[in-house]
Amino acid sequence: MCQLNYIHCGKCGKVYSREEFQKLNDQVEVRDKQRIVYKSCSCGYRFWDDRFKYFRLFDKLTIKTPFGILNIEISTVHLEINHGTDEKPKWYETLITCFEKFVEYEKIVRYETELQAQEGHRKIVEKFKNFDFQLKPQITYTLEIDLTDL
Q: Applying CB under 5 A, which residues contact Zn ion?
A: 9, 11-12, 14, 41, 43, 45
* Phi, psi angles (nearest 5°) of residue 78: -85, 140
Task: Tell me how far, at minimum, the Cβ of 53 lies from Zn ion, in Å.
Answer: 12
Which is nearer to Zn ion, 12 or 108 (by Cβ)?
12
C-alpha triplet 44, 48, 52: angle, nearest 5°: 85
Task: Tell me how far, at minimum, the Cβ of 44 lies from Zn ion, in Å.
Answer: 7
Which is nearer to Zn ion, 6 or 45 (by Cβ)?
45
Which is nearer to Zn ion, 8 or 121 (by Cβ)?
8
Task: Tell me how far, at minimum, the Cβ of 91 lies from Zn ion, in Å.
Answer: 13
Which is nearer to Zn ion, 11 or 83 (by Cβ)?
11
Task: Tell me how far, at minimum, the Cβ of 112 lies from Zn ion, in Å.
Answer: 17
